[in-house]
Amino acid sequence: MTRRVRLLLAGLLWLPAACVTTTSTERGTVENSGQVDYAEAARLNTQLGIDYARQGQDDLALEKLKRALDQDPRLADAHSTIAFVYARRGDDELADRHYRRALDLTPDALVKNNYGVFLCAHQRADEAVRYFREAAQDKAYRTPEVALTNAGVCARKKPDLDGAERDFRAALQINPGFADALAQMAWLTYQRKDYLRSRAFLQRYQQVGAPTPETLLIGALTEHALGDTVAARAYEQRLRKEFPESEESGNLPRAPSP
């Protein structure tokens, strides 16, 4: 049985995505007075780096972010963004270093969530869960259900099913219609052979979320476990039809030829 888990990256949201039209030199922005405003230049280069990172242009993003850090080594946004880019490129040591530096400069909840994603992906689950839960406790964090769901996903990978369920339920207490937490609870209750609750969570998911290979698979497995072969086959047919190239579809038993 495939049990794919997905962590939610908070994204590069800490600066606006507006276009930058200010003229800049190699070391900074030149004002009319002829003086270089390094702090403003660093901020603008960081914003450019975020824009390039959003577009997947990592080389250009790194160029701008390195320049920003040369101009202002204490700019937390630049550290957190370059960490994100390094992590995406697989430069794990540099990503870890810059995430830690960003958090040394400012304990931002978005950065804690993204660092937690990085840690969980590198089998550092205990550290990751701690950062996720810290992010969720930040009163200024607008989407604590994201961090709590990530904490549950990472706890489940340990495995710590009790801790995972607490986190998923906490996420749903904040946002009862949060699709990712509902899907995770459907998986977790299926793992615990609590098939009726698995069905119930999946039904709640279907009211707010689009079908995915994972949710269709858990639907098929749950209905088979409950003895409803008609419903199970309906899920299987949808999975094969809507996601024919998915791993989940490939793992289903093939129907016999007519």
* Distances 33 to 40, 80, 131 between C-alpha atoms, Å: 15, 32, 45
**Averaged pLDDT, 64-91:** 95
Cis peptide before 244 (omega within 30 of 0): no
Closest CA to 232 of 247, 212, 210, 253: 253
Give the type of residue at 173: Q
Sign of the alpha-carbon dihedral angle for 123, 126, 131, 136: positive
In a domain, 10, yes or no: no
Mean pLDDT within 118-145: 95
182: in domain = yes
pLDDT in tens, 91-115: 999 999 999 999 999 999 999 999 9
Looking at residue 36, its pLDDT comes to 60
Any domain includes 210: yes
Give the whole-number percent of the chain exceeding pLDDT 90: 80
pLDDT for residue 8: 55
Look at residue 212 and tell me if it is in a domain: yes
The helix/strand/coil state of 50 is: helix
pLDDT at site 253: 64
Task: Give the domain CATH number at 209.
Answer: 1.25.40
Residue 6's closest CA among 115, 128, 130, 157? 157
pLDDT by residue (tens digit) across 153-197?
999 988 999 999 999 999 999 999 999 999 999 999 999 999 999
Rounded Cα distance between 181 and 187, Å, is: 10
Residue 42 lies in a domain: no
Assigned domain for 58 exists: no
Q: Domain for residue 18, yes or no?
A: no
Task: Find the range with the poorest average confidence among 2-6, 64-68, 139-143.
Answer: 2-6
Separation of CA 199 from chain center:
25
Strand-pairing partners, residue 24, are 29
Q: Is the pLDDT of residue 16 over 70?
A: no
184 is in which domain, residue-wise?
Answer: 178-252
Domain count, the chain: 1
Question: How confident is residue 31, by pLDDT bands cut at 50, 70 and 90?
Answer: very low
pLDDT confidence of residue 205: 98
